């Protein structure tokens, strides 16, 4: 299967438009154990793409990853316990990923702690 490539173009208002060529992509989802990331991963998997989730599980839900893994074969879904603050680890995982990474969707964040009292 030929490797799919994407083109990114910007319109006159500076908004980015993503034009994806038809085919299967390998998408890395950071924060993929969280609510938004896990739903994005599910939508990508259901569309036939390969998904790798990078998450340190500090705020994410391991149960969400278990559901994704139970619905999709290991060839299309992978979870890598990774701290995005460890630049070397992230680079190593992205550079040596198989298949090669086509797109990264970044949903990871450090949760804020605050009090209204």
Q: What string of pLDDT tens digits covers the 117 residues of the chain?
A: 444 454 444 454 555 555 555 579 999 999 999 999 999 999 999 999 999 999 999 988 999 999 999 999 999 999 999 999 999 999 999 999 988 999 999 999 887 666 676
Q: Which residues of 13-33 are buried (b: 16+ CB within 10 A; e: fewer)?
A: eeeeeeeeeeeebbbbbbbbb
3-state secondary structure of 6: strand
> Tell me, what CATH number does 86's domain have?
3.40.50.720
For the beta sheet containing 50-55, the strands, ordered from the edge strand earlier in sequence to the opposite edge, are 77-81, 50-55, 26-30, 103-106
Q: Is residue 4 part of a domain?
A: no
Q: Is residue 5 part of a domain?
A: no
DSSP code for 42: H
Record the pTM. Answer: 0.77
Q: Is residue 112 part of a domain?
A: no
Q: Is residue 88 part of a domain?
A: yes
Q: Is residue 36 part of a domain?
A: yes
Domain that holds residue 30: 23-106
Q: Is residue 83 part of a domain?
A: yes
How many domains does the chain contain in total?
Answer: 1
């Amino acid at each position: 299967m030929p490797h799919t490539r994407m083109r990114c173009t910007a319109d006159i208002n500076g908004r980015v438009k993503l034009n994806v060529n038809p085919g299967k992509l390998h998408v890395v989802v950071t924060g993929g154990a969280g609510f938004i990331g896990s739903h994005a991963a599910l939508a990508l998997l259901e569309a036939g793409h390969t998904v790798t989730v990078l998450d340190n599980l500090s705020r994410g839900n391991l149960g969400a990853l278990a559901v994704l893994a139970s619905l999709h074969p290991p060839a299309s879904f992978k979870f890598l316990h990774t701290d995005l603050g460890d630049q070397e680890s992230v680079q190593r995982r992205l550079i040596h990923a198989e298949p090669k990474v086509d797109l990264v969707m970044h949903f990871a964040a450090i949760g804020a702690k605050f009090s209204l009292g």
